[in-house]
């Protein structure tokens, strides 16, 4: 039975009350969102925040400790670690956005098509993405970098290709679920054209699932950037990214440990925040919608 009594009166989850409800139900996800927003702001206002030119070398002032003129000290070229961290945020986030952007562009339209058309189209697309998934990610990335030439953007586009099957699967599954809803049949029965069915009725109800996947994928992309840059496939010197900072600092780990754990901490916290946000959204979006069927 679906008694209104079982739902508190304030649960009509539309509009402003919805945000407040989300904050109350998913405090960790909300906190993660605020943290990520601050990180993005830091990336945008990097020139304002940074105290030094991130690439300016001061060979006399190598591996300086904390405090003083250099807040987080200097690296083995005497560059300001704080400024490099701030500018590195920019590079890392941009690179992650490229990867996720590529995978969304590849995975979402194909997923929609497969879920909507079913049959042969679905079978063919599904097999293609299954095949893509079976190729080891790192080898695919290396191959693409070898073909397209080195550089972080190329490497991250390769990462995007590796992520694409995930987006395909999520979009396809969400589309199939929505296609089973009566309102799709209803929209066809009133005479909607297929494009309208997809854009007006399927898309808006698939977007939440994609948002969740985007958040999770951004987290993975950040660590992918770190791995690629660590292997020397990412940014080229002297540009700073979290991954490249981690890579160079590994050599001086025993003398200057702060240079390892600072970018490490950033990578860890941002990946965690994206994951928590994604999980929170998943729970929030799954629990709303269908609540009348018990």
Partner 1 sequence: MSALLEVKGLGKTFGGRSRLSLGRGKVVTKAVDDVSFTVTKGRSVAVVGESGAGKSTVGRLVLRLIEPDEGTITFDGVDLRAQSAEGMRQMRRRMQMVFQDPYSCLNPRMSIADSIAEPLVVHDLAGRAERDAKVAEMLDRVGLGSRFARRFPVELSGGQLQRVAIARALIVEPDFVVCDEPTAALDVSVQAQVLELLTQMQSELGLALLFITHHLALVEVIADDVLVMKRGRVVEQGPVTEVLRRPREEYTRDLLAAVPSPIPRVLREGQPLTAT
Partner 2 sequence: MTESITSQPPLLEVEGLTLEYGSGRRWTRVVEDVSFTLNAGQTLALVGESGSGKTVSATAVLGLAGRKGGRIAEGSIKLRGRELVGLPERELRRIRGSEVAMIFQNPLRSLNPAFTAGEQVAEVARVHLDLGRKAAWDRAIEMLDAVGIPDPERRARDYPHQFSGGMAQRLAIAAALCSNPSVLIADEPTTALDVTVQALVLQLLRKVQSDTDLAVLFISHDLGVVADVADRVVVMYSGEVVEQGPIEDLFTTPSHPYTAGLLGSIPALGRGEPLRAIPGTIPPPGTLQGTCRFAERCEHKVAGCQQAHPPLAVTADSRAVRCLRAADLVLEGITR
Q: Which residues are near partner 1 by CB under 8 A?
A: 2, 4, 12-14, 118-120, 123-124, 127, 181-183, 185-193, 196, 200-201, 204-205, 288-293
| CA dist list (Å): 161 to 7, 144, 271 | 43, 10, 20
Residue 2 vs 251, nearer CB to partner 2: 2
Q: Which residues bind partner 2 (CB under 8 A)?
A: 1-6, 8-10, 294
Contacts of 88 (CB under 8 A, 6+ apart): 54, 240, 241, 242, 244, 245, 263, 266
Nearest approach, Cβ of residue 72 and partner 2 (Å): 43
Residue 136 vs 293, nearer CB to partner 1: 293
Nearest approach, Cβ of residue 182 and partner 2 (Å): 17
Q: Write a three-state SS string for 161-194.
A: HHHHHHHHHHHHHHHHHHHCCHHHHHHHHCCCCH
Nearest approach, Cβ of residue 12 and partner 1 (Å): 5
Nearest approach, Cβ of residue 20 and partner 2 (Å): 13
Report which secondary-structure segment, H or E, holds 268: helix 258-287
Selection from partner 1, partner 2, none that 5 binds (CB < 5 to 8 A by kind) is partner 2
Contacts of 74 (CB under 8 A, 6+ apart): 58, 61, 62, 63, 64, 80, 81
Rounded CA gap, 133 and 180, in Å?
Answer: 27
Nearest approach, Cβ of residue 283 and partner 2 (Å): 17
Selection from partner 1, partner 2, none that 192 binds (CB < 5 to 8 A by kind) is partner 1
Residue 26 vs 122, nearer CB to partner 2: 26
Site of tokens 């995930």: 166
């Amino acid at each position: 039975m679906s008694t209104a009594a079982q739902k508190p009166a304030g649960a009509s989850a539309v509009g402003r009350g919805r945000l407040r409800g989300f904050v109350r139900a998913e405090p960790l996800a909300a906190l993660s969102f605020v943290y990520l927003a601050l990180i993005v702001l830091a990336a945008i206002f990097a020139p304002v925040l940074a105290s030094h030119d991130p690439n300016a070398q001061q060979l006399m002032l190598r591996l300086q400790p904390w405090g003083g003129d250099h807040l987080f000290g200097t690296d083995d070229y005497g560059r300001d670690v704080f400024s490099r961290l701030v500018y590195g945020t920019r590079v890392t986030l941009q690179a992650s956005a490229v990867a996720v952007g590529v995978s969304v562009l590849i995975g979402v339209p194909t997923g929609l098509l497969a879920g909507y058309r079913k049959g042969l189209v679905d079978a063919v697309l599904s097999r293609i993405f299954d095949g893509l998934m079976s190729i080891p990610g790192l080898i695919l990335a290396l191959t693409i970098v070898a073909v397209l030439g080195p550089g972080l953007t190329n490497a991250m586009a390769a990462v995007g290709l590796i992520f694409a099957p995930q987006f395909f699967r999520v979009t396809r599954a969400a589309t199939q679920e929505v296609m089973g809803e009566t309102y799709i049949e209803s929209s066809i029965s009133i005479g909607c054209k297929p494009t309208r069915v997809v854009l007006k009725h399927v898309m808006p109800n698939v977007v939440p699932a994609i948002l969740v996947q985007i958040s999770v994928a951004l987290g993975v992309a950040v660590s992918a950037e770190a791995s690629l840059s660590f292997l020397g496939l990412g940014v080229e010197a002297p540009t700073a990214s979290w991954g490249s900072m981690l890579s160079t600092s590994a050599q001086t780990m025993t003398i200057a440990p702060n240079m390892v754990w600072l970018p490490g901490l950033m990578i860890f916290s941002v990946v965690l925040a994206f994951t928590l946000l994604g999980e929170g959204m998943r729970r929030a979006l799954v629990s709303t919608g269908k609540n009348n069927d018990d």
